[in-house]
Amino acid sequence: SIAAQWATLPDHTAQVESLREAFVERYGSEPDGIWSAPGRLNLLGEYVDFNGGSCFPTPLPYRTLIAGRLRRDGILHAESLQMPTPVERPLREIAPGTVSGWFGYVGGVAWSMNQEGGEDISLPPDFGADLLIDSTVPVGGGLSSSAALECSTALALLELSCPLRTEESLEPLPVGGCGPDNDDLRARLARVCMRAENEVAGAVTGGLDQTTSLRSLPGQAMVIDFRDFSFEPVDVNVTGAGLAFLVIDSRAPHDLADGQYSSRRNACEDLRQATGAENLRALLPDDLGFPDLDAEEARRARESTVADTLERCARVPGVLEGLGEDKLYGWTKHVFTDMMLVERARTLFTDRTPTTPETWRELGQLFTTSHASMRDDLGASRNELDVAVDTCLDHDALGARLVGGGFGGAVLALTTRERVPETAQAVADAFADRGYEKPVFLPLAPGRPANRDL
Ligand code: GAF
């Protein structure tokens, strides 16, 4: 068999230095600064952020870096080491529908800062910038390469504009460190980035990715409650338990701006409107307790919430037609399932410290239950992802699931440290046997939120 292909864990310091050199070579001067933001690995909770549920993500060591220099002519010029063609646009002309492709995220953030930001975040009139971008976040991997680009752009533009703000006697807003001291600012920037993605890049996503990229704490996972975007840092010390997360980029491309993600998201919005609820989370009890999904009682509670929701919808003309009740039943059921799974994981990791082997065994089961729900109820898996999940489970993984928006992208498995090489090899072999694209395995290390590097 052909050896499993492992990505290299990025050496961030070396990458900052080589981006600085590349900037000098392209633009003929030093950059004013370098900023970066991570992709995220969502441990649990898909399609629940925009429904007011909770998610359980952690920042990745894979990041998008931006070196930048201030211009005072209102022009935004951006180049990427991964993309062939530079893009240059007057900032004033950037609006929904005027930019596309990767520049949509960069220009989108600039536009959104002016829409959303208020005086301290919106960009001064003559502000412009020369940017050079480099990234190690796999694109289309369900690991939030888009948010990494948006969030690094937001930090870069905000800090590059500081000299103009000072001249105009506006208080500059240095991004500074993460943590409670400036979590408010980071929360506002996360909203700016979401709006850029929703209105300019055309993917109506829910804030999980931007919140993790900007507001997480170094080396910590977090449970984010999307009813109010508050979060609780959670220590998920997988290595300490002799275990490992194996992340498999299936290389089956996924694109959130295509119709699959938005059809499900729109259906959730129709359900919400038809039920008159603030969000779908509000249809479940406030306190989910400690839902044991295998217990008959929890299963019945969830199914009756789904049935009840659909019944309310049936009374509103137009909601069930077109999609078909079966699909809507499955999609709704998935949303409630993942909300309960995250709640259970949250309780496992916050109430039952220290963790025991039982905690990890359960976390694995939650992964596998979530995958079955994504596959069978939400219809968001595909063969490559199922093969990766099944192969990991055949090799005694504690659990495995697809991560992110689905239809392609990455699989996450929880397994013992010793089992990692043979499991990766087995997945590589299974893919080769079926003629799938060669998967790439991503080594992990603690990630940290967006920050300034230089
Ligand atoms: C993508 C979106 F960007 C998130 O907001 C979230 O909905 C996720 O898919 C699915 O859980 O990453």
The mean per-residue pLDDT over the stretch 430-447 comes to: 97
pLDDT at 171: 63
For ligand 1, atom 3, name the residue with the nearest CA: 205
pLDDT at 315: 73
pLDDT at 174: 61
Tell me how far the alpha carbon of residue 317 is from its chain's centroid: 34
Show Cβ contacts of residue 382 under 8 Å, excluding neighbours closer than 6 positions. Answer: 252, 406, 407, 408
In 162-235, beta strands by DSSP E = 221-225, 230-234
Higher-confidence residue: 311 or 437? 437
Of 116-125, 212-221, 406-415, 440-449, the poorest mean pLDDT is in 116-125
Residue 57 above 90 pLDDT? yes
Task: State how far the Cα of 189 lies from the Cα of 37, in Å rounded to an integer.
Answer: 12
For ligand 1, atom 2, name the residue with the nearest CA: 205
The string of pLDDT tens digits covering residues 65-115 is 999 999 999 999 999 999 989 999 999 999 999 999 999 999 999 999 999
pLDDT at 291: 73
Residue 321 above 70 pLDDT? no
For the CA of 405, the closest atom of ligand 1 is 9
CA of 46 from ligand 1 middle (Å) equals 6
Q: 233 falls in which pLDDT band (50, 70, 90)?
A: very high
CA of 138 from ligand 1 middle (Å) equals 16
Show Cβ contacts of residue 219 under 8 Å, excluding neighbours closer than 6 positions. Answer: 446, 447, 448
Of 27-36, 348-357, 374-383, the poorest mean pLDDT is in 348-357
The string of pLDDT tens digits covering residues 125-145 is 999 999 999 999 999 889 999
Residue 221 above 90 pLDDT? yes
Ligand 1 mutation target, pool 50, 205, 402, most atoms within 8 A of CB: 205
Show Cβ contacts of residue 340 under 8 Å, excluding neighbours closer than 6 positions. Answer: 284, 288, 291, 293, 298, 302
* Cα atoms in the 13 Å half-sphere on the side-chain side of 96: 10
Report whether the peptide linkage leading into residue 446 is cis, meaning its omega lies within 30 degrees of zero: no
Average pLDDT, rounded, for the chain: 92
Q: Which residue of the set 49, 130, 209, 270 is catalytic?
A: 209
Ligand 1 mutation target, pool 208, 338, 374, most atoms within 8 A of CB: 208
Higher-confidence residue: 338 or 165? 338
pLDDT at 256: 63
The Cα-based distances of 209 to 194, 264, 276 in angstroms read 9, 18, 27
Tell which residue, 224, 241, 255, 259, has the closest CA to residue 346: 224
For ligand 1, atom 11, name the residue with the nearest CA: 46
User: Scanning the structure block, which residue is given the tokens 């961030």?
Assistant: 12
Residue 257 above 60 pLDDT? no
Q: What is the DSSP string of 312-334?
A: HHHTSTTSSTTT-HHHHHHHHHH
For the CA of 265, the closest atom of ligand 1 is 7
pLDDT at 148: 98
For ligand 1, atom 9, name the residue with the nearest CA: 405
Of 97-101, 347-351, 372-376, 427-431, the poorest mean pLDDT is in 347-351
For the CA of 256, the closest atom of ligand 1 is 1
Torsion of CA 233, 174, 10, 196, to 10 degrees: 80
In the beta sheet, which residues pair with residue 67?
Answer: 34, 132
3-state secondary structure (DSSP) of residue 232: strand
Share of the chain above pLDDT 70, in %: 94
Residue 265 above 70 pLDDT? yes
Q: 4 falls in which pLDDT band (50, 70, 90)?
A: very high
Residue 178 above 60 pLDDT? no
Task: State how far the Cα of 189 lies from the Cα of 208, in Å rounded to an integer.
Answer: 13
CA of 152 from ligand 1 middle (Å) equals 18
Show Cβ contacts of residue 112 under 8 Å, excluding neighbours closer than 6 positions. Answer: 192, 193, 195, 196, 199, 200
The mean per-residue pLDDT over the stretch 175-180 comes to: 58
Q: 181 falls in which pLDDT band (50, 70, 90)?
A: low
Tell which residue, 71, 102, 70, has the closest CA to residue 85: 102
* Known catalytic residue at 209: yes
For the CA of 146, the closest atom of ligand 1 is 3
Residue 353 above 80 pLDDT? no
Residue 168 above 80 pLDDT? no
CA of 210 from ligand 1 middle (Å) equals 10
CA of 135 from ligand 1 middle (Å) equals 20
**Ligand 1 binding residues, C-beta < 6 A:** 46-47, 49-50, 144, 205-209, 256, 404-405
CA of 166 from ligand 1 middle (Å) equals 37
CA of 186 from ligand 1 middle (Å) equals 19
Q: How far apart are the first and last CA of the chain?
A: 44
The string of pLDDT tens digits covering residues 5-47 is 999 999 999 999 999 999 999 999 999 999 999 999 999 999 9
For the CA of 55, the closest atom of ligand 1 is 11
CA angle 156, 157, 161 (to 5 degrees): 115
Tell which residue, 329, 47, 412, has the closest CA to residue 205: 47
pTM of the predicted protein model? 0.95
pLDDT at 75: 98
pLDDT at 435: 96
Tell which residue, 432, 451, 445, has the closest CA to residue 2: 432
Residue 352 above 70 pLDDT? no
Q: What is the DSSP letter of 78?
A: E
Task: State how far the Cα of 56 lies from the Cα of 43, in Å rounded to an integer.
Answer: 5
For ligand 1, atom 1, name the residue with the nearest CA: 405
